[in-house]
Structure 1
Amino acid sequence: MTLIKSISGIRGTIGGKPGDNLTPLDTVKFAAAYGTWLKQQRNKDNYKVVIGRDARISGSMVQQLVMNTLTGMGIDVVDLDLSTTPTVEVAVPMEHADGGIILTASHNPKQWNALKLLNAKGEFLNGVEGEKILKIADANDFDFAEVDELGEIFINDAYIDIHIDEVLNLELVDEDVIAAANFKVVVDGVNSTGGIAIPLLLERLGVETVKLYCEPNGEFPHNPEPLKEHLGDICKLVVKENADLGIVVDPDVDRLAFITEKGEMFGEEYTLVACADYVLSETKGNTISNLSSSRALRDVTESHGGEYFASAVGEVNVVELMKDKKAVIGGEGNGGIIYPELHYGRDSLVGVALFLTHLAKKKMAVSDLRASYPSYFMSKNKIQLTPQLDVDKILAAVAEHYKNEEVSTVDGVKIDFEKHWVHLRKSNTEPIIRIYTEAQTQNEADQIAEDMIEHIKKVAGL
């Protein structure tokens, strides 16, 4: 059982002992630390926080603990109950709230839950802000409200519909062209809130929908991370139903994957590539993804006359660079679409609407659309080192060895070669180096990873 504290929130498994797992005591402590930090931002009479959750089994319990802790500090709560991460992000500024908390462990299995923390813009906290909250929690430095100053809970279950309204109001989302395409789509909502939000969106877009695992009961029917090895059921059902495509989201609906009409993966890296292709065809500008994302986004961006930039891994880093470079779209290669015209957060609803508009305008099959993009293949590996080894020193030696190539040390070591790349990142919790490679065939990507592992061993003297 595990409890992980980080700048982006607190995550852990339900049950067990305080300090070792996400117990009620840990939940209350961290919620109180967030509430304390919130009050330090501005001195005012009233504070407000938006709370939403995915459908995992522990969600209701954790939500009650968090909401009542905040009201105990004199902070009002807007309770969205079952919601999505991007919906909460949209709701925070609409409610003129001081912050938001999403109760979700994202793609982690059902025994996990987490508190993901937002600022007043509805965006994830940066490293400095997260560190302050961790220090407050460690110090138990809380001040609760007196009886006449307790906060209140206001229930608002309309925000998924409001979120859909905002998506449909986007200039680049064309409801008419989507409806005219007469799409038939299979949706895998992994029995969480995507099973509510995505079918509602598709209904508004005039799309025939076949639901698979769309009952929001938190009983995940397969590993909830939307990867090929977990999605056999929807791949079969798309073919059986003669559907145009399949749509898969993770439990909190910020990661999006597509299935072609042939029952094959479109490729989670290519969710962003396709959406960016459409946006760039209508809006000239730059794009951002993280250093471990596919080179295909760079290729597509440059084909439209834009410029591509890579950030350190992590949504907050992508968003920061998007703002700096005034990117028109960005995100992460795990299927996270960030479209600033609506908000700076990964949003599967935005991704679905942009993708379907693109597909309808192209008037081609999903498999043909995928074939129109440059093909790259990834390999993801890791090497276990001994605790005595200096991982930073090893990475520095690798960077020096390849200094004549294009090397980035923004986040670990990323080496760009002419036809492939290698990205090395160290773990913050154990002596591991994660190795990501991308090349023009799977065999090449795997071989490059093996060669790099051997090189690391040589540098480390193993």
Structure 2
Amino acid sequence: MALIKSISGIRGTIGGSAGEGLSPIDIVKFTAAYAQWLKETNSSLKHKVVVGRDARISGEMVQKLVVGTLMGYGVNVIDAGLATTPTVEVAVTMENADGGIILTASHNPKQWNALKLLNSKGEFLSDADGKRILTIAETDAYSFVNVDDLGKVVGEASYNQKHIDMVLSLKSVDVKAVKDAKLKVVVDAVNSVGGVVIPDLLEQMGVEVVKLYCEPNGLFPHNPEPLPEHLVDIANLVVQEKAHLGIVVDPDVDRLAFVCEDGSMFGEEYTLVAVADYLLSQSKGNVVSNLSSSRALKDIAIKHGVEYYASAVGEVNVVAKMKEVGAVIGGEGNGGVIYPEIHYGRDALVGVAIFLTHLAHSKKTCLEMRNSYPNYFISKNKIELTPAINVDQVLEKVKAKYADNQINDIDGVRIDIENKWVHLRKSNTEPIIRIYSEAPTSAEAEAFAGQIIADIRSICNL
């Protein structure tokens, strides 16, 4: 069993003893800590929180515990039911709510669930706010209301459609062009909430939809992380159906990947690249991604004559950098598209609508579009160290060795050498250094990672 407590929320496996997995006791405890934090930071007499969930098996159980606990704290609840992560985020602002809780473990397997916590802007909490909630949970500093002050619940299942309406009303989305393109698309939504929302969005854009794993029953038919090795079925079906492309989302619909008409992967890293390319062709502005994302986005920024900025890894860090530099588009290389025109959160619905607009305007096939972008390959590795080794000192020594090159140390150490880079980040829970490297070929990326691993082994006398 596992329970992971972080500033962005509480994630764990269902079952087991309290404190070892995401037990009902832990769900109540951390929901109460969040409600207490709301009272500390907002003087409203009656607070309001939006709650939504993905379709995983444990969702209904977790939802009832969360809603009941909020009521016990005197918080009114807008129950959005089955809703995507970005849908809950926009619902918070549309409801003028004080916050939101999304019940999803994102791409984790079915035994996992989580409480993702939002502020009144529908955004993930700051580092300080997240730490405060964890402190409250550790001290059991709760104060529930009496019977006359219990919160009330309003069911509101319309937010998925309201979210779709918001997306289709964006100036950057051309519904007519997509309809005229007469596209046929296969959708793999891993039997979660995306199986309802993504087909609805596509059909309202005039797209013919072939559904694969779109029954929202939480029975994931494959590993829900949208990586190439998990997408064999949709790749085959795209070819079999002679579809123009395939669309893949994770269980809570904040990550987005495409499959080309020949069954090849467009690449999660290139979701943001393609969306940014189209948006920058319409209006100029800065772009942001995190340090572990492909440099292809920087190439697109240079192509359009705008500035590219890198942030620390994590959605909250990307959003902070986007606000700082006034970025018009940003996101992460895991298929996460953040478009501030609608809200500051990764949103697969936005990504789908803009990508299809781009495809329709370009008159290219999906594969032709992919081949129009710079080709890079990312290698992901890690090295395990002993607990006695000071990981920070190791990173400092690596940084010193490559000091003559471009270095970014806002989040671990990233080293750029000509047309390749490597990013080293330490784990917060284990003596591990994660090593991501990118180069024009897979062989070069692997070789660069191997070089860094050899350096670390030498430094540590391993």
TM-score normalised per structure 1: 1.00
Correspondence for 2:320: 320
Q: Which runs of 5+ in 1 are unaligned?
A: none
**Residue 451 of structure 1: CA displacement?**
1.2
The residue identity in structure 1 corresponding to 2:403 is K
| 1:398-443 alpha-carbon deviations (Å, 9 max, x no partner) | 0011111000110000001101000000000000000000000011
> What is the match of residue 215 of structure 2?
215
**CA displacement, residues 4-28 of structure 1 (integer Å, 9 cap, x when unaligned):** 0000000000000000100000000
The aligned amino acid for 2:206 is G
Give the deviation of 1:339 after TM superposition: 0.2
**CA–CA distance in structure 2, aligned partners of residues 53 and 112 of structure 1:** 13
1:422 is matched with 422
Paired letter, 2:129: E
Q: How does 1:96-135 map to 2 (within 5 A)?
A: 96-135=96-135
CA shift digits 1:221-265 (9 cap, x unpaired): 000000000000000000000000000000000000000000010
Deviation for aligned residue 1:313: 0.2
Work out the CA distance in 2 between the residues paired with 1:92 and 1:386: 44
1:156 corresponds to: 156
CA distance in 1, matches of 2:344, 2:461: 44
Residue matched to 1:189: 189
Distance 2:282 2:302 in 1: 14
The match for 1:147 is 147
Residue equivalent to 2:363:
363
**What is the alpha-carbon distance in structure 2 between the residues aligned to residue 196 and residue 132 of structure 1?**
36
Please state how far the C-alpha of 1:46 moved relative to its aligned partner: 1.2
2:128 maps to a residue whose letter is V
The corresponding residue for 1:335 is 335
What is the distance in 1 between the residues matched to 2:228 and 2:278?
A: 24
Map 1:13-412 onto structure 2 (within 5 A): 13-412=13-412
Per the TM alignment, residue 187 of structure 1 is displaced from its structure 2 partner at its CA by 0.1
Give the Cα–Cα distance (whole angstroms) in 1 for the partners of residues 309 and 42 of structure 2: 34
Q: Distance in 2 between matches of 1:354 and 1:321?
A: 22
Structure 1 residue 192 displacement after superposition = 0.1
Q: Cα offset for 1:312?
A: 0.2
Distance in 2 (CA, whole Å) between partners of 1:398 and 1:382 is 15
Partner secondary structure for residue 222 of structure 1: coil
**Secondary structure of the corresponding residue to residue 76 of structure 2:** strand
Deviation for aligned residue 1:51: 0.2
Q: How many percent identity over aligned positions?
A: 64
Aligned length: 462
Q: Tell me how far apart the structure 1 counterparts of residues 52 and 35 of structure 2 sit (CA, whole Å).
A: 16
Deviation of the 1:137 alpha carbon:
0.3
Query: Cα deviation per residue 1:323-345 (whole Å; 9 max; x = unaligned)?
Result: 00000000000000000000000
User: How far apart are residue 195 of structure 1 and its match?
Assistant: 0.2
Which amino acid is 1:258 matched to? Answer: F
Say what the alpha-carbon RMSD is for the aligned residues: 0.4
Between the aligned partners of 1:268 and 1:254, the Cα distance in structure 2 is: 12
Aligned partner letter, 2:426: K
Structure 1: how far apart are the matches of 2:47 and 2:422? 46
Give the Å deviation of 1:76.
0.2
Letter in 2 for 1:183: L
1:4 aligns with 2:4: yes
Give how far 1:450 is off.
Answer: 1.1
CA deviation vs aligned residue, 1:64-91 (integer Å, no higher than 9, x gap): 0000000000000000111100000000
Structure 2 distance, partners of 1:20, 1:261, is 45
Report the alpha carbon displacement of residue 135 of structure 1 after superposing the two structures with TM: 0.2
CA distance in 2, matches of 1:118, 1:442: 38
Q: How much has 1:180 moved relative to structure 2?
A: 0.2
Distance in 2 between residues matched to 1:106 and 1:88, nearest whole Å: 14
Distance in 1 (alpha carbons) for counterparts of 2:37 and 2:45: 15
d(CA) in 2 for partners of 1:424 and 1:460?
A: 15
SS of 1:10's equivalent in the other structure is strand
1:116-145, Cα deviation, whole Å (9 max, x unpaired)? 000000000011000000000000000101
1:220: how far off? Answer: 0.1
- The one-letter code of the counterpart of 2:261 is E
Q: Which amino acid aligns with 1:80?
A: A
- Which amino acid counterpart does residue 35 of structure 2 have in structure 1? G
Inter-partner Cα distance in structure 2 for 1:129 and 1:387: 30
Tell me the distance in 1 between the aligned counterparts of 2:83 and 2:43. Answer: 30
Structure 2 unaligned runs (5+)? none
1:290-325 CA-partner distances (Å, limit 9, x unpaired): 000000000001100110000000000000000000
- 2:328 is paired with a residue whose SS is strand
SS in 2 for 1:4: strand
Q: Which amino acid aligns with 1:222?
A: H
Task: State the Cα deviation string for residues 350-382 of structure 1 (Å, max 9, x = none).
Answer: 000000000000001000000000000010000
The TM-score with structure 2 as length reference comes to: 1.00
